[in-house]
Amino acid sequence: MPPSFADAFLAGRFDVRGSWIFDVAHNPDGMGVLVATLEEAQPARPLKALVGIRGDKEWRAMLEVLLPALEGCVLTAPPSVPAGQQWPLADVRAWAAGRPGGAAVEVEPDFDRALVRARAGAATTLVTGSFHTVGDVLGRLPGFAPLG
């Protein structure tokens, strides 16, 4: 790797901003890298996440990788995802209700309410699941410029 890459930074890829972590992981392998980085970084606990995933992604596998690393999780639909590509929140809710123990999982269709709920009681809030989720949150937080 060229020495110039040692200090390279990609906004939205384990992008730590105070008590927030933004990561655009959008497939099971990306979630695996995110979880490994969380284990290494040891962010303040409790760690809660706001997760929004496009419907065409392997969301069940992604969540199976991510949830053991969290104390809580709010699943939602990012508003910038086109309607035909939204993940099926009714299916997500049924999946979440049927899974055994572990991190508390909520499904909140309203993105703004989901953001508030993910932040409640968290020492660190992780935002992940897609570029849409990260960008939609960054656009809502004062002083946080959206990606792009």
Task: Walk me through the domains of the chain, giving residue ranges and CATH numbers.
Answer: 13-138 (3.90.190.20)
Q: What is the mean pLDDT of residues 68-83?
A: 95
What are 11-26's pLDDT values in tens digits?
A: 678 999 999 999 999 9
Confidence grade of residue 74 (pLDDT, cut at 50, 70, 90): very high
Confidence grade of residue 6 (pLDDT, cut at 50, 70, 90): low
d(CA 131, CA 96): 23
Confidence grade of residue 133 (pLDDT, cut at 50, 70, 90): very high
Bridging pattern class, strands 20-23 and 104-107: unpaired
Q: What is the predicted pLDDT for the residue at 8?
A: 57
Rounded to the nearest 5 degrees, what angle is found at the Cα of 40, between the Cα atoms of 143 and 117?
45
